[in-house]
Structure formats: C-alpha cells, structure tokens
Amino acid sequence: MKKVAIFAKVHDPRCLGVAQQLTEWLAQRGVTAKVEDHLSKRLRRPSQTQTVESSEIAQDADLIVVLGGDGTLIAASRMMGEAEVPILAVNLGSLGFLTEITLDELYPSVERCLADDYEVSERMMLLAMVEREGEVIEKHRVLNDVVINKGALARIIDMETSVDSHYLTTFKADGLIVSTPTGSTGYSLSANGPIIHPALECISITPICPHTLTNRPLVVAKDADIDIKLVSGIDEAVFLTLDGQVGVKLVNGDLVKIRRSGHVTRLIQSRSKDYFEVLRTKLKWGER
C-alpha cells in the first residue's frame, strides 16, 4: 500500500490528535496520507500529505482509516461512491457496532494492512430512489437504513408497500425502516426489528409504532425490489432519512424505491474480537 486516506470526526479534539499522529507515522514509513479538506485545515501536514475533497477521498487510495464512531464510518462509506476501498474503522466514539478496532489496535492494524495481511467483511448496501410524478428526484446509496417517518406534529402516515411488485400491505404507522443486516443494530433494533448477522444478505422491513399491532418486522431476500408509496392523502410533514444523516421531504404520492446496491462496503475485521463479542459487549448481554 502506497496511499492511505484518513477520514475523521473533525469536531472531536481526540480524533484530530490521532489523525495528526497517524499522518506523521505514515510519513516516516514513506506512505502518502490523503486527508480530506475539512480535516486537513486542522492539521500540521507532513510534506507528502495530499489534501483532497471529501468526494475524492477514495480515489487512488489503497486503504481508508476512519477515526470516530459509527456515524463517521457511515458518512465515509457514502462518500466513497462506487469505490470499494477497504476501511479500517477505529472506534473513538461511544457505542460502535461497526467501528470495532480500538485505538490500541490502530497502529498494529495499519502495519498489517501495509503488509497486505488483513481480512475484510463485505457489507451489502442499499440504493434508495424517490420518484415524484414519474421522475426520479433523489438517489442515494446507504449502508445502514432507509427510513420514512412523520414529523413531530403529523398524524399516522399510510405507506402502501409492495415487494417484487406483489402488494404487501399499507402500513399505518409513525414510519417504516428498511434496513441492511449492518443496519439491523441501529434504528431498526430500537423499533424491535431483528438482529441480523452481517454475513447474511437480506433486507428487513420494520414498522415504527404501527397502528395495527399485528404488523411485525419482515425479512425479505437480498434482491427484493421494495416500493413504498406515500398515500396519506393529507398535507403533513413526512421525511425520508438516509443512514440517519441525509433528509428528504416527501409529499403525498411520492414513491420510494429501494433496491440492493451493486456495491459493498469493505470493513477490515478486528483480530481481537468477533461479531458476537461486539453484541455481548455493546448490548450488555448476560449482565444483571
């Protein structure tokens, strides 16, 4: 590896300090550090450091080191576009279901990556499109989830949902979460959705506070085409939220189309812990 990109939570002084040390550490080993522009403005940069815009962070990079929490990783994965550069996600946040590399593991992990000695977990992504009056007005790729939810003062919303052109039901609820296995431990989990091992390839559909109590989370095939039409019939505040970070206001009649993306996020795995250990630790299973 000759080029390592660094993406960090720029408003966190701890992340900035680690980013500074990492750029210097890479320079001492003759490795070029690519630093996105918002981060670059806050660092003292060694001479061979390259400053790039966020949208170009993955271009020509052999590795991306993400410093922060799960939100920082999710933002980085969206900015990568169609690139599938392996990501070393270092947990400097709080919960961290995805950023399983600890700070103590950072430099040994980077050493192994530079020596091409690492394993990756490929995480499926979703492609979400908003169609209004027959025209696609929004298109986004997500790692975690696509959420339709009502505003604070809005009434229950009606969402006519079909899977592979087969009518499923019209959910009457506060919202609907369509999630990848990676996102199953996010918003979907808090809405009583299933925990899905990230090695599986499937999509979960979880209603948020459904009016019909028999509505339950549903898991469908990885290649399922999910269409959700907003049919509330009244003018109310309804939003589409992508990975909890990008919001789109919807209007009555909008059609949200959700498909499996043709691209994946490649996360470098920790050698000191496995997925079930992460679940036990983060969810405090077995504790009283």
Nearest alpha carbon to residue 6 among 68, 95, 71: 68
Nearest alpha carbon to residue 248 among 108, 79, 96, 128: 128
For helices 13-28 and 106-114, angle between their N-to-C axes, nearest 10 degrees: 40
- Burial code (b: 16+ CB inside 10 Å, e: under 16) for 99-124 equals bbbeeebbeebbebbbeeebeebebb
Q: Write the single-letter amino acid at 184.
A: S
- Burial code (b: 16+ CB inside 10 Å, e: under 16) for 263-282 equals bbbbbbbbeeeebeebeeee
Nearest alpha carbon to residue 231 among 137, 125, 160, 131: 160
CA distance 36 to 58: 10
What are the tokens at 247?
Answer: 């919001």
Of 12, 62, 70, 235, which is the active-site residue? 70
* Distant-in-sequence, close-in-space partners of 56: CB < 8 Å, separation ≥ 6: none
* Catalytic site includes residue 70: yes
CA distance 96 to 278: 9
Enumerate the active-site residues.
70
